[in-house]
Amino acid sequence: MTDSATAPLSFRRRWTVMVICAFALFLVGLDTTIVTVGLAEIGSGVDLDAARLPWVVDAYTVVFASLLMTSGAVADRFGRRLVLLTGLSIFAVASLLCALAGDGAMLIGLRAIQGVGASMLSPVALAIVVNVMPTQRERALAIGVWGAMFGVSMAAGPIAGGLLLAAFDWRALFWINGPVVAVIIVFVALIVPPSRSPSPRRLDVPGQLLLIALLATVVGLLIEGNAIGWTSVTALVGYGLAVLLAVVFVVVENRVRSPLVEPSSFRSPAFAGAILGAVAIFIAFSVTLLLTTSMIQVVEERSALAAGTAILPMAIATAVFAPVSGILVGRFGARGPLLLSAGLITAGGVVLLIATQAVLSGGRGVGSAGIDPLLLGLALGLIGSGIGFGNAPITNAAVSHLPPDRAGAAGGVASTARQLGTSIGIAVAGGLIAGVPAAAFMVTARTGWFVVVACGLALLVPVIGTLLPSPGPPRRP
């Protein structure tokens, strides 16, 4: 079977495919964050202490991030529609089982299985979209819409979670996926055309296992650091293990015939910067998301629904500016949107720092208004705009670095970077607030806002990368 890019679809058909695939992506992003506002209720429901609650999110995101590139390669080899349908089915079954979980360990394990299914959705759906779009400009616009859907899904998660918690209980956060996935499966089977790469890669099993171990070790250290002590013997052994795994991973990837990621890809400043930028954007996003929703529930003592609603400025801004960014990238290149992204995320973090300092200087405590609502809305709008402007050029850079017949692999690289950023951000924010009393929450949150500012500034790296010459797509013998 030839790749779908060789048999162009009509404009209406390819954009219908785009919408269907975007909804599959929406589901993935939504499930990453929908549990954020319900972590306290989940912890009570399955008897999981606060220090372990980040695992409810990161058991999903770590497995998701680890398997993305392999899922893309599997889809290139065996068929993208088939793998997409398989991933949707696994995701739905695991979601329903999560709703039936009786204890914390079972829930975390089932969230990991959810991550397996989710890993088959994002890069595969992106590969389908890339291959049905006939021109670079239309592809860039589609990636902009794609970025809007992903950003909105992750920002909409707390809102949907708040509504479900108000109407039902924490188990609704999981069983709701069942009927939604059933509808998506029908549309995928009826409308999405089959496709696969004419020259698929071999699967890199050693690299895949090393990547899972490396990401789990790094995220585990971030989540458990406060509990085990950052300078304890256990932590020091963990640091050493992470470094060893990273070194072995690089060595293996340089020697295997078909690595998960072409090591020589990172010789391109634009590609390497895009990956760093994706990680930075989603660290900033997830830190902002978790700290904001927790602040509203802990400091202001308001409901989960109120916490989810407070995220609306970030969701709306992401939805508005992601497609705008896609248009700008298609017409003028990535540099302008990346500069806007860096400036907006940095500015949002600075506003949060100023607003938090005002709270601390005023000596306001539990039950207070917390951060001024207008300043909070402004900051979230700035950060959401930055995410919207940043996602399209970064995704486009990663996808454009490899030829269309390797779109599954390219989609896996971009999605892995995003999910790695999400995992790290949740782990960092969760580690900051675990066990912190309400009276000290704002002091802790201030550290998180410094992280957001640092992530905004880190986006200047991919901007610099677009100014430097690239050796072009790497080729292996």
**Those residues with Cβ within 8 angstroms of residue 137's Cβ, 6 or more apart along the chain or in another chain:** 330, 331
Which band of pLDDT confidence, cut at 50, 70 and 90, is reported for residue 365? very low
pLDDT digits (tens, 9 = 90+) for 6-46: 457 777 888 888 888 888 888 887 887 788 888 888 988 88
Cβ 175 vs Cβ 99: under 8 Å: yes
Q: Which residue shows structure tokens 């020697």?
A: 255
Which pTM value belongs to this model?
0.80
pLDDT tens digits, one per residue of 187-228: 998 888 887 777 667 778 888 888 888 888 888 888 788 778
Per-residue confidence (pLDDT) for residue 3, from 0 to 100: 52
Of all residues in the chain, the percent with pLDDT exceeding 90 is 23
SS3 (DSSP) at 202: coil
Element (H, E) at 203: none
Burial environment of residue 241 by CB neighbours within 10 A (0 to 12, 13 to 18, 19 or more): middle
Q: State the CB neighbour count (10 A cutoff) for residue 472.
A: 9
Residue 157 has pLDDT above 70, yes or no: yes
Mean pLDDT along residues 145-149: 71
Q: What is the DSSP letter of 297?
A: H
Task: Give the model's confidence band at 459: pLDDT under 50 very low, under 70 low, under 90 confident, else very high.
Answer: confident
The per-residue pLDDT for range 286-324, each reduced to its tens digit, is 999 889 988 888 888 888 888 888 888 988 888 788 778
